[in-house]
């Protein structure tokens, strides 16, 4: 039991962060606009949550230009994928009890 709780990750303890990770688990990358549309978050809100995940090194940011428009896109790191998998497994185990 203790072990399971230990795998529940505080970094994913928010709807927006959970959503960002879910999208990045099944998509190689997602840009800011796509995440915003999917999660229904404001610019500021989404930016603060991506920054939090970035700090944990769960996602990486790539900034580039498409033509003249700046484009920010995110992808999950290996560390992030593993952490998220563990988190989901822990929730599933808790639910099975």
Partner 1 sequence: MSTEEYLKDITEIKDMMNKSSRFFSLSGLSGIMAGIYALIGAAIAYYLVSISGREYLILDGKIFNYILLDLTLIALLSVLTAIYLSHRKAKKNNETLWNTASRRLISAFLIPLVTGGIFIAIKIFNNHYGLTGSLMLIFYGLALVNASKYTIGNVKYLGYIEIILGLICSMFPTYGFWFWVAGFGVMHIIYGSLIYFNHDR
Cβ pair 55, 11 in contact under 8 A: no
38 binds partner 1 (CB under 8 A): yes
According to CB under 8 A, which one of 48, 51, 89, 94 is a site residue for partner 1? 94
1 binds partner 1 (CB under 8 A): no
Which two tokens mark 72?
């920010």
Q: Which stretch binds partner 1 (CB under 8 A): 42-50, 51-59, 63-71, 88-96?
A: 88-96
CA–CA gap between residue 53 and residue 59 (Å, rounded): 6
Give residues with Cβ within 8 angstroms of 33, minimum separation 6. none
According to CB under 8 A, which one of 9, 39, 53, 80 is a site residue for partner 1? 39
């Amino acid at each position: 039991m203790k072990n399971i709780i230990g795998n529940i990750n505080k970094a994913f303890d928010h709807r927006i962060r959970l959503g960002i990770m879910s999208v990045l688990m099944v998509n190689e990358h997602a840009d800011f606009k796509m995440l915003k549309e999917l999660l229904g978050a404001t610019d500021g809100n989404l930016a603060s949550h991506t920054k939090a995940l970035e700090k944990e090194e769960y996602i990486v940011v790539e900034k580039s230009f498409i033509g003249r428009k700046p484009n920010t896109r995110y992808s999950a790191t290996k560390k992030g994928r593993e952490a998220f998998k563990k988190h989901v497994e822990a929730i599933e185990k808790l639910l099975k009890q």
